[in-house]
Amino acid sequence: MKLIDLLVQELPKIGGWGNTGEHCVQDFNGNLWFYKGGRPEYTSGIWAADSLSPNFNWTRWGLCITKAIDNSHSHVSHEQYEAALAASKQPVWNGEGLPPVGTECEWQDTNTKCWQKVTVVYSSEWVTVIREDKDVDPVELAIENYGSERSKEFRPIRTEAERKREEATAEMSASIAKYTEMTFLEAIYEAVAAGEIKAFKLAG
């Protein structure tokens, strides 16, 4: 989980961001640090203040939380936190129509047909702007809203179980397609026996 997601999850339990600083970072132990002015540098798992910034002011929050996957380089501002917190309180998009602004979802590239995780950052009657789920230089893409098929390019983020089921189903379809002279169940048996469907194996 990213740092901003952890902050949205944990800080409300202890009173929110408070008057602790303008930005937040997390060290390798999971401790949260808030600061004003300057910009810290990350070395060997430790955030260190820039000695050339006289206005730099650290505040160590008395909270140790799960280590974020981006703890070594993520700086979360107070504004970013408040925006993410507000978005987290909005109703969850159920997959019908186009996703609203702030929604994290999956979008299907019309060229590659691959699904990727994106965030909707802008939406109007004419266009939807999405941002790639990347920590460094994420690309934003504007998609015209013309046509009733546009909404089918978006779907809610799949759970791990849903992704595994999709992968297994696709693998099964590809594996049994060559057993054209057999019934459906016979084709599945042969594909499993041949080790072509990793989700299953024969007992004994």
Dist CA 79 CA 88 (whole Å): 14
Q: For residues 42-47, give the mean pLDDT.
A: 78
11 Cβ contact list (under 8 Å, min separation 6): 17, 81
Helices and strands (H, E) in the chain, number of each type: 4, 11
Which one-letter amino acid corresponds to residue 132? E
**Chain-wide mean pLDDT for the chain?**
81
Residue 179 has pLDDT above 60, yes or no: yes
CB atoms within 10 A of CB 85: 17
Domains of the chain in sequence order: 3-88 (no CATH), 104-155 (2.30.30), 160-193 (no CATH)
Dist CA 68 CA 7 (whole Å): 10
Q: Does the reported pTM lie above 0.75?
A: no
How does residue 57 score in pLDDT terms, banded at 50, 70 and 90?
low
Structure tokens, 176: 């049994």
According to the model, what pLDDT value does residue 204 have? 57
Dist CA 26 CA 67 (whole Å): 8
